[in-house]
Amino acid sequence: GENVEQHPSTLSVQEGDSAVIKCTYSDSASNYFPWYKQELGKRPQLIIDIRSNVGEKKDQRIAVTLNKTAKHFSLHITETQPEDSAVYFCAAKRDSWGKFQFGAGTQVVVTP
């Protein structure tokens, strides 16, 4: 079945620096790749997503890149701020109706 691996498990960055989180997936039929942010005690919330017909997508300080050949995708956060501190999860899904498989998460800590 689908397996999603996420690295690193923890990431500490200085405010203003960039953060990069990488995920790999096993199911080559996956075609939708969202990223969720979960603050402590809160629900996961979608921050950006990408579909397999696109290689890169940007939204202000966050961007996601997808390499379908290598089956990996990455989240990039530029000019990090303390409010970016949270756990970030990547996920992969096969089709419009299938289940989402999540990575184990990355704890991002942005220090002032």
Partner 1 sequence: GAGVSQSPRYKVAKRGQDVALRCDPISGHVSLFWYQQALGQGPEFLTYFQNEAQLDKSGLPSDRFFAERPEGSVSTLKIQRTQQEDSAVYLCASSPNTGELFFGEGSRLTVL
Q: Taking the complex as a whole, how short is the minimal distance between the CB of residue 79 and partner 1, in angstroms?
A: 26
Nearer to partner 1, 88 or 110 (CB): 88
Q: Which of the ranges 54-62, 65-73, 76-84, 98-106 carries the binding residues for partner 1, by CB under 8 A?
A: 98-106
Sites for partner 1 among residues 4-63 (CB under 8 A):
6, 32, 34, 36, 42-46, 49
CB 108 within 8 A of CB 6: no
**What contacts 24+ positions apart, CB below 8 Å, involve 4-9?**
4/90, 4/91, 4/92, 4/101, 4/102, 4/103, 5/103, 5/104, 6/89, 6/90, 6/103, 6/104, 6/105, 6/106, 7/106, 8/106, 9/104, 9/105, 9/106, 9/107
User: How many of the chain's residues bind partner 1 (CB under 8 A)?
Assistant: 24
CA 108 from chain center: how many Å? 12
Q: Is 103 in the site for partner 1 (CB under 8 A)?
A: yes
Q: Which of the ranges 13-21, 59-67, 75-83, 94-102 carries the binding residues for partner 1, by CB under 8 A?
A: 94-102
Q: Is 69 in the site for partner 1 (CB under 8 A)?
A: no
**Residues at the interface with partner 1 (CB under 8 A):** 1, 6, 32, 34, 36, 42-46, 49, 89, 91, 93, 96-105
